[in-house]
Amino acid sequence: MDMINIAVLVSGRGTNLQAIINVINRGGIDGKIRIVLSDNPEAYALKRAQRNGIKTKVVHYKEYRSKDEYEQEIMKYIDNYRIDLIVLAGYMRILSPNFIKKYPYRIINIHPALLPSFPGLNAQRQAIEYGVKISGCTVHFVDEGVDSGPIILQKAVEVKDSDDEKSLSRRILKYEHRLLPRAIQLFAQNKIQIINKTRVHIKK
């Protein structure tokens, strides 16, 4: 079985990273995380990676003169490690069109809402404030828009009347942890087919 090389980009606590690591450790993904890259030196995700013997690199946004230079540095690692798939797991920056163009259909993101509803920041709060009865999570390819690329997998999650942002986030997060590793394995097995550049068909 061919193993794909994975890079994970993080900014924070890294529970989605942990979920990927757990599935890899029990043999559920035909791939290896070659590097975890963080824009934030304080990200707890870095500790999770290190604990599992995974290489980490902080590319501290503030230390670069421009977004372009910052992204060039990230690309250097992506290219040196011959990365097949870039996973955004709680990465809180928008990648520039130059970056995205370089890795077409090779960057995926997990978003805590049913896209195209509630893109951008604080998706769970947006869902609560709008008053939807169902929200969920989405794994999608990253294109040049904000949370707008082809959708790979989605899971619907009920919003209860008693929910606040915190309780809804917690319920959705549980499903994120299943959805993201599943999407990565589909990618690794080459089962994701893109139709007309916009729709995803999952091969049996």
Q: Which residues bind ligand GAR (CB under 6 A)?
A: 12-16, 45, 89-90, 110-112, 123, 173, 176
The distance of closest approach from Cβ of residue 118 to ligand GAR in the complex, given in angstroms and rounded to an integer, is: 10
The distance of closest approach from Cβ of residue 15 to ligand GAR in the complex, given in angstroms and rounded to an integer, is: 3
The distance of closest approach from Cβ of residue 173 to ligand GAR in the complex, given in angstroms and rounded to an integer, is: 5
Pick 148 or 189: Cβ nearer ligand GAR: 148
Pick 87 or 192: Cβ nearer ligand GAR: 87
* Residues linked to residue 202 through DSSP beta bridges, in sequence order: 192
Pick 57 or 189: Cβ nearer ligand GAR: 57
Examine the residue annotation and report whether 111 is marked as an active-site residue of this protein: yes
Pick 15 or 72: Cβ nearer ligand GAR: 15
Among candidate residues 60, 111, 177, 201, the one labeled active-site is: 111
The distance of closest approach from Cβ of residue 182 to ligand GAR in the complex, given in angstroms and rounded to an integer, is: 15
Determine the residue with CB nearest ligand GAR: 90
Catalytic residues: 111
